[in-house]
Amino acid sequence: MLLEIEVDPAQMEQSLNKAYRRLVKRVEVPGFRKGKAPRNMLERHLGRDHILHEAIDALIPEAYNQAMDDNDIDAIGQPSIEVVAEEPLSFKATVPVRPTVDLGDYQSLRVERGPAEADEDDVDKAIDDLRQRYAVQQPVERAAQTGDIIRADVRIVIEGEEVYKDEDAEIRLREDATILLPGFAEGVVGIAKGETKDVEVTTPEGEGKLAGKTGAATVTVHEVKEEILAEANDEFAKEVGEGFAGLEALRTHLRDELTERVKSQVEERFRNEAVEALTDNAENIEFPPVLIDREIQRELEQQARSTGQTVESYLELIKKTPEEIKEDLTPTAIERVRRSLVLSKFSDEEEITAESEEVDAEIEKLVASAGDNAERMRQLFSQAEARASIESSLVTRKTVDRLAELVDPNGSAPTLSVETEAETEEEAAEEPDEAVAVKVKEES
């Protein structure tokens, strides 16, 4: 929100007098004892601009706070000030105010859940993965083929610079997989035990002086092993894990396990789509840019923390300026802010809260799972800030639960209480102080 504030000349003169009284106590004027020089002499000694700026520096916060109070504006951050004129004082204040969110008719929203069962192809793949895990590796006296496992000495040189060296490395030659560098796996196929071969490799495109360069991998094969997969039968099933009665019992176990995983994925996707639908349905979402800046900073700090770096070190590591990372993170930050504001508004509309007993129970769950750190965890959550964080998480969880219940077409539509009588009482607007004239405009 943009405030245009004009200060009455009388209030300006009052502020100049206050500035004079402050300065005269600190400044020695020739011919006068400290604190005794008349205002006109102090102005002649310091210059009028000095006293004027001293007055303006004190007057701007006073006028700004008065304008905020008179117009009942709820700011969520510090304003940006632009002085338009000094005498009489006139300035613009760009104020970050609380967001405005209109959810629209969210009660009629519906979101479909997808299928939540694992199909037989998924079970077949899980069986194949188990066969791979229980495969027997058998040495063979032939050249390496795709699917084999080799033991080899490998040295890679690009543009005269050694970029990789490993003696007696074990490498699985998987089909359609890039191993070490493009060209390596394909070049190793056909090398027999005891042979040495130079294989042409290429570094991927990207950053760095060797990006996109061609070099050679010198490979000496010590052993070639063939992977022999077990047959998918009852005998195999009895060897898996703690053993199953037969192949069908193993398939049933895998099907149930996969179905639970699919259900979890479907539910997560359903809830994300529910929040997205609520956000898209909103008729109005307005918020100050400072919220985007805060979200960008939070995400940047999280990324840096995940690498064990400070923000400054992290930016050096990824070779990006603050302006470049801000440009990268802005679209995601905007979407996160929008979703967060919509959920917060929905929570208010549905009157969702977390009771003290619920917070206590959640803390006890966390403490119980902390093991040896239980006491330290309990002390941590005894702090007001940590407890507030748990309460906030609980409210968010309950909010998404309520939203999921609302938009589920197979669930029961909520019964909402409707106010039949609109409130008609209005608070009388207070007259602003006549010393300050304020114009309020929507910030573009």
Residue 431 lies in a domain: no
140 and 213 co-located in one domain? yes
User: 257 is in which domain, residue-wise?
Assistant: 105-132+239-281
Exposure string over 333-351, b if 16+ CB within 10 A, otherwise e: bbebbbbbbbbebbbeebe
**Rounded to an integer, what distance in angstroms lies between the CA atom of residue 89 and that of residue 83?**
8
Would you state the structure tokens that stand for residue 171, as one six-digit string?
Answer: 């490498």
How far apart CA 41 and CA 27 sit, in angstroms, is 11
Could you give the CA distance from residue 347 to residue 353 in angstroms, rounded to a whole number?
Answer: 8
Quick one: which of 149, 120, 141, 137 has its CA closest to 229? 137
How far is it, in rounded angstroms, from Cα 69 to Cα 77? 15
Q: Are 16 and 41 within one domain?
A: yes
- Residues 171, 128, single domain; the answer is no
Q: How far apart are CA 377 and CA 179, in angstroms?
A: 44
Determine, yes or no, domain membership for 72. yes
Residue 27 sits in a domain whose CATH number is: 3.30.70.1050
Residues 149 and 268 in one domain: no
**Residue 365 belongs to some domain of the structure:** yes
Residue 420: per-residue pLDDT: 29
Together in a domain, 48 and 109: no
**Are the CB atoms for 42 and 51 separated by under 8 Å?**
yes
444 in a structural domain: no
Non-local CB neighbours of 130 within 8 Å, separated by 6+ positions: 240, 250
Q: Check whether residue 362 and residue 218 sit in a common domain.
A: no
pTM over the 0.75 mark: no
Total residues found in the chain within this entry: 444
Of 115, 425, 84, 378, residue with least CA distance to 265: 115
In the numeric block, the tokens 């609302």 are attached to: 406
Asked if 10 and 90 sit in the same domain, the reply is yes
Give domain status of residue 167, yes or no. Answer: yes
pLDDT in tens, the chain (444 residues): 788 888 888 888 888 888 888 888 888 888 888 888 888 888 788 888 898 888 888 889 988 888 888 888 778 778 888 888 887 888 888 888 788 899 999 999 999 988 888 889 999 999 999 998 898 999 999 999 998 999 999 999 998 889 999 999 999 998 888 888 989 999 999 999 999 999 999 988 875 677 888 999 999 999 999 999 889 999 999 999 888 999 999 999 999 999 999 999 999 999 999 999 999 999 999 888 889 999 999 999 999 999 898 999 888 888 888 899 999 999 999 999 999 999 999 999 999 999 999 999 999 999 998 888 888 888 888 899 999 999 999 999 999 999 999 999 886 433 333 332 333 333 333 333 434 444 444 443
Instruction: Judge if 29 and 83 occupy the same domain.
Output: yes
The residues, any chain, with a CB within 8 Å of residue 184's CB and separated by 6 or more, are 156, 178, 199, 201, 217
Residue type at 136 in one-letter notation: V
- 384 shares its domain with 250: no
- For residues 209 and 158, is the Cβ–Cβ distance under 8 A? no
| Rounded CA separation 117/40 (Å) | 88
Please check whether residue 329 lies inside any domain of the structure. no
15 and 57 inside one domain? yes
Residue 399's Cβ-side half-sphere holds a number of Cα atoms within 13 Å equal to 25
The pLDDT assigned to 413 comes to: 39
CA-based radius of gyration for the chain? 35
Please report whether residue 427 resides in a domain.
no
Residue 319 domain-assigned? no
The reply to whether 255 and 395 lie within a common domain is no
DSSP H stretches of helix in 75-161: 120-133
Tokens 């102090």 correspond to 42
Domains held by the chain: number: 4
The answer to whether residues 220 and 274 belong to one domain is no
